[in-house]
């Protein structure tokens, strides 16, 4: 509901607001929300990963400088709008890009550079652990990184005292607590749905597997504790307040909710946390989350099994590559426009080019592309080589070119979705979309609906993303009434009056996407040749 600036100002002064911070792949965002869980201020900081010695990583300096700049931009936004400083809030939530590998020694020193979700370097470990547990262990999971380091004989392994994710690391430094929300923890090590904790039998199997190494630790000793949504997860320490707010105005003692990954916050931000609901986050990477009614009948390497922040089983299809390659093509067209002496805004350039995709042939006119900036685990590529292909007789025009780039950005995702829908008969009533893929209205939804074959909705709040999602989890921790469930809290306190647009799948678009996918799967041999040839 609309509020007067003076009322919002008083909420800020009285510490009734909530802050959510999320470190995404290309942007760190800080959001402040009011008592009605609506964003009232925000700050951003753009950043990029580095490729150092064959590892996609971010340095600790980049992490902390980025957090502080994002937070500072948020408090500057508050000052500009309401004329007040931020000294206290009711709760804080932290989120980060999912999973990956951060390990520390007993002195709290990072033992090896942060290995992000983007690295496809744990194939041997992923395959071995999937067989050992009879449970899918994706390459980006923390346990896959740990076992691969063991298989590689990396010297740092013996010195590990604590293993966590990006969100868990930041939370630890701000509160002193070594914890994770269950959704993020489910990408560190498999979760037992009955106990809402790590699967003890699988932990025992792993410890037995590495027993001959005689490390001075057991797996359970180095893992963060698992907490479900609503749990108190620590308080901002004096040191943590100084790490977050370089101005020194933020008070310590603020409670924090369990840290979650961007997968969990995306589910919350789209209210997709009960069976038959799902969401898709599409930006640098793309991943779909569908809350299951029952467990899958088989183990599929293409399908991750994770949980909602409350511990419900979720099937996740994650593709490392989505918009990055076509972003480069749009940039190239922008250079051409500028060379012709014209000045076109970035938004107009994107909207014009992407809308052309809706004018193309349903199956892209015989064109094919792979936007593999990095490797792609679903199609078994440890490295990527972006490429565009056509036959002499293909219908090569701008509309089909743009449509091909959009289709192929979802190609690997589609392979995983077909397993869920065709082999496992998973049912989903509607998909909620969020992320940069949906910035050009209608285009992103129509293309995504063609991929899924189900209606795709976008909420007005979808642009707030995971930072808003983690702020909602923080708000739930401090503002829920009695034993109110997260589902009830979101339905009653957040999304009761939400506005959204829904696009139904067009039957010709669906057929065209399926025809394109036949070409996509056949052409993987060409992509393999490119990876093997161009080093």
Q: What is the pLDDT of residues 410-423, one digit of tens each?
A: 999 999 999 999 99
pTM: 0.87
Return the pLDDT at 148: 98
Q: Within the chain, what is the greatest distance between any pair of CA atoms?
A: 68
Return the pLDDT at 128: 97
Q: What percent of the chain has pLDDT over 70?
A: 99
Cβ neighbours for 94, distance < 8 A, ≥ 6 positions apart? 20, 21, 22, 167, 170, 171, 174, 256, 259, 470
**Stretch 65-78: mean pLDDT:** 97
- The answer to whether residue 436 sits within a structural domain is no
Return the pLDDT at 329: 98
The domain total for the chain is 1
Is 110's pLDDT higher than 60? yes
Cβ contact 291:308 at 8 Å: yes
Is 1's pLDDT higher than 60? no
- The answer to whether residue 452 sits within a structural domain is no
Return the pLDDT at 461: 64
Distance of alpha carbon 233 from alpha carbon 489, whole angstroms: 19
- The answer to whether residue 112 sits within a structural domain is no
Cβ neighbours for 428, distance < 8 A, ≥ 6 positions apart? 276, 277, 278, 290, 452, 454
- The answer to whether residue 292 sits within a structural domain is no
Return the pLDDT at 488: 96
- Rounded alpha-carbon distances, angstroms, from residue 36 to 7, 471, 490, 522: 12, 12, 11, 51
Q: What is the pLDDT of residues 349-372, one digit of tens each?
A: 999 999 999 999 999 999 999 999
Is 463's pLDDT higher than 80? no
- The answer to whether residue 162 sits within a structural domain is no
Q: What is the pLDDT of residues 228-285, one digit of tens each?
A: 999 999 999 999 999 999 999 999 999 999 999 988 998 999 899 999 999 998 988 8
- The answer to whether residue 367 sits within a structural domain is yes
Q: Give 130: exposed, middle or buried? Use CB within 10 Å, 0-12, 13-18, 19+.
A: middle
- The answer to whether residue 129 sits within a structural domain is no
- The answer to whether residue 45 sits within a structural domain is no
Is 443's pLDDT higher than 90? yes
Residue 377 lies in domain:
324-408+508-533
Tokens of 339: 């060379």
Return the pLDDT at 462: 56
Is 175's pLDDT higher than 70? yes
- With residue 474 as reference, give the H or E element that holds it: helix 465-479
Is 497's pLDDT higher than 90? no
């Amino acid at each position: 509901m609309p509020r007067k600036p003076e009322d919002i100002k008083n909420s800020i002064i009285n510490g009734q607001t909530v802050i959510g911070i999320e470190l995404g792949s290309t942007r760190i965002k800080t959001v402040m929300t009011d008592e009605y869980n609506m964003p009232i201020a925000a700050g951003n900081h753009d950043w990029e990963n580095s490729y150092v010695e064959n590892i996609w990583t971010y340095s600790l300096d980049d992490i902390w400088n980025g957090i502080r700049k994002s937070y500072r931009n948020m408090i500057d936004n508050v000052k500009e709008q309401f004329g007040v400083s931020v000294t206290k809030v009711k709760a804080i939530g932290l989120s980060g890009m999912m999973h990956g590998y951060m390990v520390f020694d007993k002195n709290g020193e990072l033992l090896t550079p942060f290995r992000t979700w983007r690295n496809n370097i744990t194939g041997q470990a992923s395959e071995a652990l999937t067989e050992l547990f009879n449970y899918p262990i994706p390459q980006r999971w923390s346990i896959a990184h740990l076992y691969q380091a063991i298989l590689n004989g990396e010297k740092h392994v013996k010195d590990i005292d604590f293993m966590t994710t990006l969100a868990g690391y930041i939370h630890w430094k701000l509160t002193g607590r070594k914890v994770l929300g269950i959704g993020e923890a489910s990408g560190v090590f498999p979760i037992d749905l009955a106990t809402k904790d790590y699967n003890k039998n699988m932990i025992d199997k792993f410890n037995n597997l590495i027993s001959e190494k005689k490390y001075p630790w057991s797996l359970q000793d180095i893992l963060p504790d698992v907490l479900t949504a609503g749990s108190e997860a620590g308080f901002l320490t004096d040191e943590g307040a100084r790490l977050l707010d370089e101005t020194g105005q933020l008070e310590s003692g603020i409670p924090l909710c369990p840290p979650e990954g961007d997968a969990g916050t995306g589910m919350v931000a789209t209210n997709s946390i009960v069976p038959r609901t799902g969401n898709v986050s599409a930006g640098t990477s793309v991943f779909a989350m569908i809350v299951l009614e029952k467990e899958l009948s088989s183990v599929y390497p293409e399908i991750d099994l994770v949980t909602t922040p409350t511990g419900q089983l979720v099937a996740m299809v994650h593709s490392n590559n989505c918009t990055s390659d076509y972003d480069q093509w749009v940039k190239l067209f922008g250079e051409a426009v500028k060379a012709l002496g014209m000045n076109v805004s970035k938004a107009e350039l994107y909207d014009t080019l992407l809308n052309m995709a809706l004018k193309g042939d349903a199956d892209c006119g015989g064109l094919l592309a792979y936007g593999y900036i990095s490797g792609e685990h679903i199609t078994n590529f440890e490295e990527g080589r972006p490429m565009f292909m056509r036959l002499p007789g293909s219908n090569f025009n701008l509309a089909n070119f743009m449509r091909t780039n959009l289709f192929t950005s979802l190609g690997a995702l589609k392979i995983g979705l077909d397993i869920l829908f065709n082999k496992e008969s998973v049912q989903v009533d509607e998909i909620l979309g969020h992320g940069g893929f949906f910035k050009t209205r209608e285009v992103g939804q129509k293309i995504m609906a063609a991929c899924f074959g189900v209606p795709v909705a976008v909420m007005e709040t979808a642009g707030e993303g995971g930072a808003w999602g983690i702020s909602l989890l923080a708000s739930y921790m401090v503002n829920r009434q009695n034993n109110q469930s997260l589902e009830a809290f979101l339905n009653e306190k957040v999304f009761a009056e939400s506005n959204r647009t829904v696009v139904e799948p067009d039957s010709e678009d669906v057929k065209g996407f399926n025809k394109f996918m036949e070409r996509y799967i056949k052409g993987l041999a060409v992509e393999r040749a490119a990876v093997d040839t161009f080093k």
